[in-house]
Amino acid sequence: MTIHVHEQVHRPRVSDQGFDARTPKVRIYLMGKEYQVPNVLTIMAAIEYAGYRLVRGCGCRAGFCGACSTIYRKTDDYKLYSALACQTLVEEGMYLVQIPFVPAVKSLYDMEEITLTDNVILRYYPEIARCVSCNTCTRSCPQGIRVMDYIQASLRGNIARAAHLSFDCIQCGLCSSRCPADIKHYHVGQLVRRVYETRIAPKSPHLARRIEELDSGVYDEEMNRLMTSSLSELKQRYESRKIEPVSED
Amino acid sequence: MIKITTRRPASDLVERVAELSGQSIFACYQCGTCSSGCPFIEAMDLHPHMVLRHLMFGMEDVLTSKTIWVCASCFMCAERCPRDIDMARIMEALRQVNLRENVDHIKISHMTEAELEGVPQIALVAHFRKNTG
Amino acid sequence: MDIKYYPGCTVKTSARNYEASAIAALRYLGVELSELEQWNCCGVVHTLSTDDLMKQLAPIRVLKHVEQCEEREEVVTLCDMCYNTLSQANRLVKDDPAKLKTVNTFMECDDSHGGYTGTVRVVHLLQVLRDTIGFQAIKKKVKYPLRGMKVFPYYGCMLLRPGEVGIDTPEDPTIIGDLMRALGAEVIDDPVKIECCGSHHTVGDRSIVFERIERIIGRARSKGAEAVVLSCPLCRFNLDTRQQEDRTIELPLPVFYYTQLMGVAFGLDEAVLGLNEHRIDPRPLLREIGYQKKGEYGRITT
């Protein structure tokens, strides 16, 4: 079996994308092969422009899902850069590789059982004690998160700080792909936020009220109606759905 | 019968350890001061001065000895050596020769709650730095 | 006087009472301890391989922050392991500009653009007490001398060795003992004071630690000590928590940080000093000398 990150299907998309032959081109390299692409494209659009269909490493196309991690170098620079393909414009001389997934096994824990101790994060991710403070994780984060600082905060049991610092993480995994200490940062960030929300943050009265409302069955009738609808009824409702609230004026 | 030979040891271990540790291994005259002051001697298979002696002969058993992992770098030997050999650095070099093969001496992911909870951060960081590469 | 200190991870967790008692005792002496605004783990153990510069990043990053961001010439540590690691890394790069340059380049700076230039002094809090404030001055501030209390100062390794970064004579240190005498305590001395407590083996092989602490506690008790006083949070853990777990020790000795005993002699409150956070409760001993009974400190001795 072959695993494809993307497959080339020869489907030029020039006319779809609102630029013409006069749009300046840049040279990029996709897994070693050279392509000339319009300079207004994102990396993801450029891959498609070059004729590939993305079957992995592509999700929301809006910088939120973290599926399109990309690493690249530039011809005039020794550094290895990282980015989200859907959020970054192509540049002249980019050598690109997609990293659709970074293996990072998540520790098993039951949030009900977790107690807030100084070592709560070390208990599930002891490897954070291997951090050498090289800051490579922070440098590789496409979200501009101070990753090293939240790992350091987690190490010293400062859950609140770690939760706040890691809040914008979209779990693309680039940090974990480059860490010399083999830390699985984004899982650590997820655990600190969970511990913070359940054990430290003040409880939201609105949420409690809402849950009470749901428990009392306010939506039961509507749900039942949906569950008993025929396929054609569901299709009709889907077609006529409101995608965004329309303002009155 | 003991055979005395002028052949050099086949292993390049001495050179590697000398380079990694920055120490003159052949400066040792086997006085045993390092071993007599070592607080961990009870838990060691090879005593520190024996590690040096084996090393001089290129004997690779030092790499599999318990001693190199028992050494906690307390620097007692280094402070007292009349030949100014920093034994703690030699022990570290021997650990590094192992760890640089990407084989850790401990399995961090197999550690239990009892081993991790309540233990000071400095203990865990030190333990991992000494036992993983 | 105002001092910037580097706490270290353990001072923020299992050694909170060390930090709290240090801040309180120093404030009593008119010195404000304020924490560095940003810091990372120091790395705990100085890397002893000649080529492993990656492991020097953590301590040098701390020193760079002290020098470049907080513009200080001195940083004070509480933890002995942090003191040792920061000091040895500092020495390494001060003596070897090529290594400093490599580390700075990795951190994306150089000595003219935000990199570390090697001007910071790493100082242990005990050195501040001895060399800046002075034990005589401290003695004058004592309200309730620890009269008749027999304490065994335990130094371990990281304050003393290697000698190049040690804060006292490696074979026969007296700094904690001298401080204790200034507080009015009786000092019990034994060569075991400079032997390792078992260090990080407390994680992987507790039997090594048990063997070590049985010897240390046994020697101290045989000389008549009623308590151990020390400065390292890992020694504290091994000599307090692990001592309490060691079934062969019938009469455990309570363990204090020197800052806690300063607080006791200054008459500071028990809660501030974190005396309730010990595994071996030191309060019965303190009550014996009259602690928290104002005006009655000092065991009546004949």
Query: Exposure of C217 by Cβ count < 10 A (0-12 exposed, 13-18 middle, 19+ buried)?
Result: buried
Residues B116, A123: C-beta atoms closer than 8 Å: yes
Residues C43, A133: C-beta atoms closer than 8 Å: yes
Which structure tokens are listed for A178?
């480059």
Which structure tokens are listed for C64?
């760079």
Render A104-121 in DSSP notation, one character per residue: -PPPP--TTT----TTHH
**Structural domains for chain A:** 6-98 (3.10.20.30), 120-200 (1.10.1060.10)
Q: Does A11 touch chain B (CB under 8 A)?
A: no
Q: Looking at the domain assignment, is residue C202 inside a domain?
A: yes
Label residue B1 by pLDDT band (50, 70, 90): confident
Class of domain B13-101: mainly alpha
With tokens 């003991």, the residue in question is B2
Which structure tokens are listed for B9?
């040891």
Shortest Cα distance, chain A CAs vs residue C153, angstroms:
28
A210-244 per-position pLDDT tens digit: 999 999 999 999 999 999 999 999 999 999 988 76
Q: Which residue of C has its CA nearest to B113?
A: C203
Instruction: Give the start-end residues of each E strand in chain C.
Output: 2-6, 32-35, 74-77, 121-124, 150-153, 186-187, 227-230, 255-257
Of C163, C195, C208, the CB nearest to B70: C208
Chain C interface disruption, residue of B122, B127, B129, most C CBs within 10 A? B122
Mean pLDDT for A41-63 is 93
- For residues A86 and A61, the answer to whether their CB atoms sit within 8 Å is yes
How far from the centroid of its chain's Cα atoms is residue A36's Cα? 28
Q: Which residue of C has its CA nearest to A130?
A: C43
**Reduced to 3 DSSP states, what percent helix, strand and coil does chain C have, rounded to the nearest 5?**
45, 10, 45
Look at residue A21 in the predicted model and tell me its pLDDT.
77
pLDDT at A126 over 70: yes
Mean pLDDT for C108-137 is 93
Q: Looking at the domain assignment, is residue C214 inside a domain?
A: yes
Look at residue A139 in the predicted model and tell me its pLDDT.
95
Q: Which residue of C has its CA nearest to A150?
A: C40
pLDDT at C83 over 50: yes
Other CB atoms within a 10 A radius of the CB of residue B84 amount to 9
Q: Looking at the domain assignment, is residue C118 inside a domain?
A: yes
pLDDT at A246 over 90: no
Of A134, A158, A180, the CB nearest to C12: A158
Shortest Cα distance, chain C CAs vs residue B101, angstroms:
15
Same domain? For C119 and C191 the reply is: no
Look at residue C297 in the predicted model and tell me its pLDDT.
63
Residues C54, A132: C-beta atoms closer than 8 Å: yes
List A residues 128-187 in contact with C (Cβ-Cβ < 8 A). 131-135, 148-149, 152, 155-158, 180
| Coil/strand/helix, residue A26 | strand
With tokens 């942090």, the residue in question is C82
B65-108 per-position pLDDT tens digit: 999 999 999 999 999 999 999 999 999 999 999 999 989 999 99
Mean pLDDT for C32-60 is 96
Which structure tokens are listed for B32?
């045993």
Longest dimension (CA), chain A: 64
Which structure tokens are listed for A160?
């609140």
Mean pLDDT for C157-167 is 97
Residues B121, A156: C-beta atoms closer than 8 Å: yes
Shortest Cα distance, chain C CAs vs residue A156, angstroms:
5
Same domain? For C120 and C65 the reply is: yes
The enclosing domain of C17 has a CATH number of 1.20.1050.140
With tokens 């000795």, the residue in question is C253
Q: One-letter amino acid identity for C76?
A: V
Render C234-264 in DSSP notation, one character per residue: HHHIIIIIHHHH-TT-SSPPPEEEHHHHHHH
Mean pLDDT for A37-47 is 95
Residue A169's closest CA among A145, A197, A194?
A: A145
Mean pLDDT for B113-122 is 95
C255-297 per-position pLDDT tens digit: 999 999 999 999 999 999 999 999 999 999 999 888 876 555 6
pLDDT at A1 over 50: no
Same domain? For C91 and C228 the reply is: no
C195 φ, ψ (degrees, to nearest 5)? -90, 150
Query: Is the ipTM reported for this complex over the cut 0.90?
Result: yes
Same domain? For C117 and C29 the reply is: yes
Mean pLDDT for C157-168 is 97
Q: Does B42 touch chain C (CB under 8 A)?
A: yes
Mean pLDDT for A72-88 is 95
Look at residue C289 in the predicted model and tell me its pLDDT.
86
List C residues 272-291 in contact with B (Cβ-Cβ < 8 A). none
- High-pLDDT (> 90) share of chain A, %: 82
Q: Which chains reach chain B with 3 or more Cβ–Cβ distances below 8 angstroms? A: A, C
Instruction: Give the start-end residues of each E strand in chain A.
Output: 6-8, 25-30, 33-38, 52-54, 69-74, 81-84, 94-98
Label residue A10 by pLDDT band (50, 70, 90): low
Shortest Cα distance, chain A CAs vs residue B2, angstroms:
47
CA B46 – CA B27 distance, rounded (Å)? 19
pLDDT at C220 over 90: yes
- For residues C270 and C283, the answer to whether their CB atoms sit within 8 Å is yes
| Coil/strand/helix, residue A62 | coil
Which structure tokens are listed for C105?
């380049």
C229 φ, ψ (degrees, to nearest 5)? -125, 135
pLDDT at A2 over 60: no
DSSP state of C171: S
Residue B129's closest CA among C103, A186, C41, C8?
A: C41
Mean pLDDT for C94-114 is 90
Q: Which residue of C has its CA nearest to A117?
A: C13
Host H or E run for residue C22: helix C16-28
Which structure tokens are listed for A36?
């000339």
Same domain? For C199 and C270 the reply is: yes
Residues C14, A118: C-beta atoms closer than 8 Å: yes
Range of the domain at C10: 2-125
Longest dimension (CA), chain B: 55
Q: Which of C125, C151, C173 is the last residue of a domain?
A: C125
Average pLDDT, chain B: 94
Q: Looking at the domain assignment, is residue C301 inside a domain?
A: no
List A residues 123-162 in contact with B (Cβ-Cβ < 8 A). 123, 126-127, 129-130, 155-156
How far from the centroid of its chain's Cα atoms is residue A59's Cα? 9
Q: Which residue of B has its CA nearest to C84?
A: B74
Residues B117, A117: C-beta atoms closer than 8 Å: yes
Which structure tokens are listed for B113?
């709650």
Same domain? For C110 and C147 the reply is: no
CA A83 – CA A117 distance, rounded (Å)? 35
- High-pLDDT (> 90) share of chain B, %: 91
Mean pLDDT for C103-131 is 92
Host H or E run for residue C267: none
Which structure tokens are listed for C260?
């806690």
Chain C residues in contact with B125 by the CB 8 A cut-off are 9, 41, 43-45
Residues A117, B111: C-beta atoms closer than 8 Å: no
Q: Return the domain boundaries, chain B.
A: 13-101
Look at residue A242 in the predicted model and tell me its pLDDT.
80
Residue C192's closest CA among C233, C242, C156?
A: C156
Chain B residues in contact with C161 by the CB 8 A cut-off are 74-76, 78-79
B51-66 per-position pLDDT tens digit: 999 999 999 999 999 9
Look at residue C301 in the predicted model and tell me its pLDDT.
45
Look at residue A3 in the predicted model and tell me its pLDDT.
47
Same domain? For C31 and C76 the reply is: yes
- High-pLDDT (> 90) share of chain C, %: 92
Look at residue C302 in the predicted model and tell me its pLDDT.
36
Q: Looking at the domain assignment, is residue C296 inside a domain?
A: no
Which structure tokens are listed for B51?
């590690």
Q: How many domains does chain C have?
A: 2
Look at strands A25-30 and C121-124 and give their pairing: unpaired
- Contacts A–C by Cβ distance under 8 A: 38
3-state SS string for chain B = CCCCCCCCCCCCHHHHHHHHHCCCHHHCCCCCHHHHHCCCHHHCCCCHHHHHHHHHCCCCHHHHCCHHHHCCCCCHHHHHCCCCCCHHHHHHHHHHHHHCCCCCCCCHHHCCHHHHCCCCHHHHHHHHHHHCC
Cβ-proximal residues to B2 (8 Å cutoff; 6+ apart), any chain: none
Q: Which long-range contacts (CB under 8 A, 24 or more apart) does C274-280 make?
A: C274/C16, C274/C17, C274/C18, C274/C20, C274/C21, C275/C17, C277/C16, C277/C17, C278/C17, C278/C240, C278/C254, C279/C240, C279/C241, C279/C243, C279/C244, C280/C240, C280/C243, C280/C244, C280/C252, C280/C253, C280/C254, C280/C255
Q: Which residue of B has its CA nearest to A125?
A: B109
Q: What is the rounded end-to-end Cα distance, in angstroms, of chain B? A: 41
Longest dimension (CA), chain C: 67
Residue C122's closest CA among C152, C94, C96?
A: C94
Same domain? For C77 and C165 the reply is: no
Residues B128, A127: C-beta atoms closer than 8 Å: yes
Q: Which residue of B has its CA nearest to A115?
A: B117
Q: Which chains reach chain C with 3 or more Cβ–Cβ distances below 8 angstroms? A: A, B
C83 φ, ψ (degrees, to nearest 5)? -55, -50
Q: Looking at the domain assignment, is residue C137 inside a domain?
A: no
Other CB atoms within a 10 A radius of the CB of residue A187 amount to 19
- For residues C56 and C93, the answer to whether their CB atoms sit within 8 Å is yes
